[in-house]
Amino acid sequence: MASPAAAPPRSLRHGRSSALSFPSPKPPPSFLPLPRSSLPFPSLIRSSSSQSSSSSSSSSSSTKYRSGLRFLGAEDYARLQILEEFRICGEIGGGGEVEIRLMADEEMGATARLLAESFVDSVLIPGKYTRFLELLIGQYLEQKRAQLPFAATLVGFYSEGGDEKRLAATAEISFDSRGSNVSSPSPPPPRDAPYICNMTVDQSLRRRGIGWLMLGACEELISKMRMTSSSSSSSSSSSSSSSLLPSSSWAYDDVYLHCRVIDLVPLGMYQKAGYSILATDNFLVWLKLQQRKHLMSKRLPRPTTTISEISEGVS
């Protein structure tokens, strides 16, 4: 069993798992049939880097991964390679294995269905809206795919005793401002910092350790993608070292996420994994028919490998 480098301690891996809460940003007008505060996915406008060139795609030999970027430099291709090759496999409580990797194009439908069912269950929206939410979330996931390699959606597949694998969990990561949404939940996290959201586990597989494994996989992927921008040979001369990304990008050692105040099980999981509460919504959010949320963060270790070293094999 491969254990994520930044995963929670092994003693916690088989603890209770639960679907994690979604952020509740302000929805676009098309969401009017449902309560405005209920919908988990914000109106997504692509960042300027993907806005100007969203017609091309990037794919690997095994699975097609699309990117909204027309031109990718060597460093961006290196990050795509990290995403395509990323895999975490682990055993969970009660038997069975989970494989976590990047979501493929053909898996968007199943992922949207899992998110819609989880969200309807968590906020007690009538089940008749599930299909409607599934369609909207599918559009959202398609737009997020266009933000590769600055955002990624991970999926976890569960199997037991040689049975066919089935989708068990998903989570979304934005690595910097180019992969973030225009609208973010309150309290707002730093836009240039790594951010985990829309993480959920299939209801029939909760409390078996899948949530712990998914959280650890997100942290490990963030650590892999947060490569230092200068090589070891030029680290002593920081004033003249070249930056592979804008100076504000990849500058944070912390990863951020939100947790609803009422979600005590996920809150306990985050705290045991090392996350601390930074800020909490005040009671005025109830006037917007929203649940109060904690903004939480955790310090991740700095990576020891540079993105330049990885991109040498790509360029």
Average pLDDT over residues 20-40: 39
Q: How much is the pLDDT for 233?
A: 32
Listed by start position, the domains of the chain span: 10-225+251-306
Reported pTM: 0.72
CATH topology of domain 10-225+251-306: Aminopeptidase (3.40.630)
Average pLDDT over residues 224-243: 44
157 pairs with which residues across the strands? Answer: 99, 167
d(CA 273, CA 138): 30
Q: pLDDT for 291-305, tens place per residue? A: 899 999 999 987 655
Name the residue among 140, 139, 120, 131 with its Cα closest to residue 35.
120
Q: How much is the pLDDT for 273?
A: 96
Name the residue among 177, 153, 188, 152 with its Cα closest to residue 79.
152
Q: How much is the pLDDT for 121?
A: 77
65 is catalytic: no
Q: How much is the pLDDT for 3?
A: 45
Residue found under tokens 């398609």:
142
Q: Are 154 and 145 in contact (CB under 8 A)?
A: no
d(CA 107, CA 157): 11
Cβ atoms within 10 Å, residue 48: 9
* Mean pLDDT (the chain, rounded): 74
Cβ atoms within 10 Å, residue 126: 8
- The catalytically annotated residue of 77, 195, 270, 275 is 270
Q: Please check the confidence at residue 242 and state whether its pLDDT lies above 70.
A: no
Name the residue among 172, 181, 8, 202 with its Cα closest to residue 90.
8
Average pLDDT over residues 11-29: 38
The DSSP-derived string for 177-204 is GGGS-SS-PSSPPPTTS-EEEEEEE-GG
Average pLDDT over residues 146-152: 94
Name the residue among 186, 151, 154, 192 with its Cα closest to residue 46.
151
Q: How much is the pLDDT for 248?
A: 41
> Omega into 187 within 30° of 0, i.e. cis?
yes
Q: How confident is the model at residue 183 (pLDDT cuts 50, 70, 90)?
A: confident
By mean pLDDT, which of 19-33, 56-70, 210-224 is the weakest? 19-33
Largest CA distance in the chain: 61
Q: How much is the pLDDT for 124?
A: 67
Which percentage of the chain shows pLDDT scores above 70? 65
